[in-house]
Amino acid sequence: MPEQTVFEVFRYLPDSETEPRFDSYEVEYHDNWVVLDALNHVKEHQDPTLSYRWSCRMGVCGSCGMMVNGEPKLTCETFVRDYDTETIKIEPLTHFPVVRDLVINMDDFIEKLPTVSPWLIREEEKDLAEGEYLQTPAEVAHYKRFSMCINCMLCYSACPVYGLDSTFTGPAALALANRYNLDSRDQGKEERAAVVTAHEGIWECTYVGECTQVCPKDVDPAGAIQMLKLSYALDWARSFVMPRSRR
């Protein structure tokens, strides 16, 4: 491996410049460094004006998502040693407006999340004295995978559908809808239908599948959306065959 790695970092300083640029920083190679370590080194020793988000440094908070050599990655678990190029290009997550340098505006994502009602919906809440809603391990297994999302937005950055039309509800929000629809304690599938089955919802997904490929938590949003398509389509068909039955 080279002794130095060159990081070409996207810079956008809206207060003083109108156009973005790339700045190069040479960083000493360390076998155990992740990309975030290198960015922190740059900020501490070379350029304190560099802006980016990070927090937990252990793949839990989901705040350090960036494009690394063109692919959406959590920089805290992307090792420099996995890139055999001497130059590593760092850019802000695509498909989101850039506020400054590597910091994106995530308002659109944050506003979309609650639209799918990502909480347990009950037709009638049972009395507190009756105890909790119990589940078997098998019932948990049905939705657990879809509950592991850390809201890192890598899936939105990988999705060209969202890139072409930002009204698309998007992979993470729809995977979350599926997570609650599959929960045995939930009765809110019909309530979520208005948002989930809208044109901007599941039917806008053309199954590119890259959301699943880039997900650092193996959530499989692409699979979740296909499951939702089948589930709601069956409900629709059932309503024709048995119009008086409940879903």
Partner 1 sequence: MTRELSRPLPRSWWLRHAPYFQFMIRELTSLVVLTYAGLMIWGLWASGDGGSFPSFHDFLSSPLNVWLHMAMLVLALYHTGTWIALTPKVLVLWRDDERIEPDVIAGANAVLFLAVTGLVLWLVLG
| In the complex, least distance from residue 229 CB atom to partner 1, rounded to whole angstroms | 7
Q: Is 222 in the site for partner 1 (CB under 8 A)?
A: yes
For partner 1, the closer of residues 5 and 212 by Cβ is 212
Q: Where does this chain touch partner 1 (CB under 8 A) — which range of 30-38, 135-143, 168-176, 195-203?
A: 135-143
Which of 24, 23, 19, 26 lies closest to 41 in space, CA to CA?
26
Q: What is the maximal distance between C-alpha atoms in the chain?
A: 71
Q: Is 121 in the site for partner 1 (CB under 8 A)?
A: no
Kindly report the number of other CB atoms within 10 A of residue 72's CB atom: 26
Q: Is 194 in the site for partner 1 (CB under 8 A)?
A: no
Q: Is 184 in the site for partner 1 (CB under 8 A)?
A: no
Residues 106, 114: contact at Cβ < 8 Å?
no
| In the complex, least distance from residue 136 CB atom to partner 1, rounded to whole angstroms | 7
Q: Which of 1, 120, 164, 194 is in the footprint of partner 1 by CB under 8 A?
A: 164
Q: Is 95 in the site for partner 1 (CB under 8 A)?
A: yes
Residue with tokens 């990309």: 35
What backbone torsions phi and psi does residue 26 show, to the nearest 5 degrees?
A: -90, 125
Kindly report the number of other CB atoms within 10 A of residue 133's CB atom: 13
Residues 202, 227: contact at Cβ < 8 Å?
no
Q: Which of 206, 218, 244, 246 is in the footprint of partner 1 by CB under 8 A?
A: 206
**CA 148 distance to own-chain centroid:** 11
Q: Which residues bind partner 1 (CB under 8 A)?
A: 12, 14-15, 20, 70, 94-95, 97-100, 105, 136-138, 140-142, 160, 163-164, 206-210, 213, 220, 222-223, 226-227, 229-230
